[in-house]
Amino acid sequence: MALIVQKYGGTSVGNPERICNVARRILETQHAGNKVIAVVSAMSGVTNNLIDLANAVSKNPTEREMDVLLATGEQQTIALTAMAINSIGGKAVSLTGAQAGIQTDGVHTKARISDITPTEVHEMLEEGNIVILAGFQGQTRDGLITTLGRGGSDLTAIAMAAAVKADLCQIFTDVDGVYTCDPRVVKTAKKINVISYDEMLEMASSGSKVMQSRSVEFAKKFGVRFEVRNSMNTNPGTLVKEEEKGMESVVVRGVSIERNQAKVTIDDVPDRPGVAAIIFSAIRDANIIIDMIVQNVSWDGETDISFTCSAAELPKAEAELNKIIPTLGGNVKLRSQSGVAKLSIVGIGMRSHSGVAAKMFNALAENGINIQMISTSEIKTAVTVNENEIEKAAKVVHTAFGLDA
């Protein structure tokens, strides 16, 4: 008898009919001879409605209370899902995050799981119950309700799978799995059957938002294998697991794109210790998320530092940088441009294969696409191109690495 943790997102439980579908699916999993813990999110739309209510009573809703409010979304879904299972002959009980022993720190609205004591979960399973667990929430040691922030329900599932030593963790979503590229952009994109944690992380951080990075990082840290599947069909999904021999034979696992980016360059920066720290401290203090920091080698005592950020945050970034540029001395100039997109190729096979970057650059060059910035990690090569060329860029790179179905 295997112990399986499943997770169903807000779309999968978006209305009573879908909840009944999910209930059937969970019960079938138990009938196939498994113990089942199912983590559910708030019904789609519910969380946004609650946020609207909060904004209607307060310009700056207290975070402690925001958690009390938002936690009700998942609490409703667990009750409804358990009822639905019971009404078709199953035996299910719901547990809130607190009841399931999910303890977090006290950082309201974006708490981190600090400990899981799944005593109640084990007891309920031993009594033959399916356990329906509220995603996205926990409680502090002092009994305050907390929520885990974006992607919190995935994290609940993976953390609970680690705590109960589950045999399998299934993340059900509204797509069949992780694809070699966004199928809306590259029609020949294929579903990936197996992917390593690191590749999944690079794909996620490059805009393939099947899952938030934090959940994948947690899974990697605790060695939780999980499968991303579609809740609307029974197609096999994508298995995300530790790296194994043989996985390197695929040089590039996928191509990831991120639109609506902006590039910022600080030109003629004095090449002395501490300058980069000043620049990026200012950016961090303004809570601007940046990506692809590039600094080239300096030969003449001055250098250029570039980075990308979302186009929406460009004005804020410019304002912050204009404050500190006069303090840097020299002829420092700020240049920026939106209308930029990022294209990444990801694969652990890159580590042992040379010429991967060259192949990517050639594919782009042959199709007349200009590369603006280049940044690489061990298993990723990323470039920025003009936004209006990103779809073409994705297609030609996808083809160049033999990823087409």
Chain residues that interact with a second copy, rule: CB under 8 A = 16, 19-20, 23, 50, 53-54, 56-62, 64-66, 68-69, 71-72, 75-76, 78-84, 86-87, 93-94, 96, 99, 120, 143, 145
Residue number, 54 or 371, with CB nearest to a second copy: 54
Q: How far is the CB of 351 from a second copy (least distance, A)?
A: 49
Q: How far is the CB of 7 from a second copy (least distance, A)?
A: 19
Q: How far is the CB of 127 from a second copy (least distance, A)?
A: 13
Residue number, 101 or 152, with CB nearest to a second copy: 101
Q: How far is the CB of 116 from a second copy (least distance, A)?
A: 16
For the sheet with 254-270, list strands across it.
290-295, 302-310, 254-270, 333-346, 380-386, 373-377
Residue number, 59 or 184, with CB nearest to a second copy: 59
Q: How far is the CB of 135 from a second copy (least distance, A)?
A: 15
Residue number, 60 or 352, with CB nearest to a second copy: 60
Q: How far is the CB of 103 from a second copy (least distance, A)?
A: 14
Q: How far is the CB of 94 from a second copy (least distance, A)?
A: 5
Residue number, 93 or 363, with CB nearest to a second copy: 93
Residue number, 64 or 122, with CB nearest to a second copy: 64
Alpha helices by DSSP H, listed for 42-175, are 46-57, 63-87, 119-126, 152-163
Residue number, 108 or 398, with CB nearest to a second copy: 108
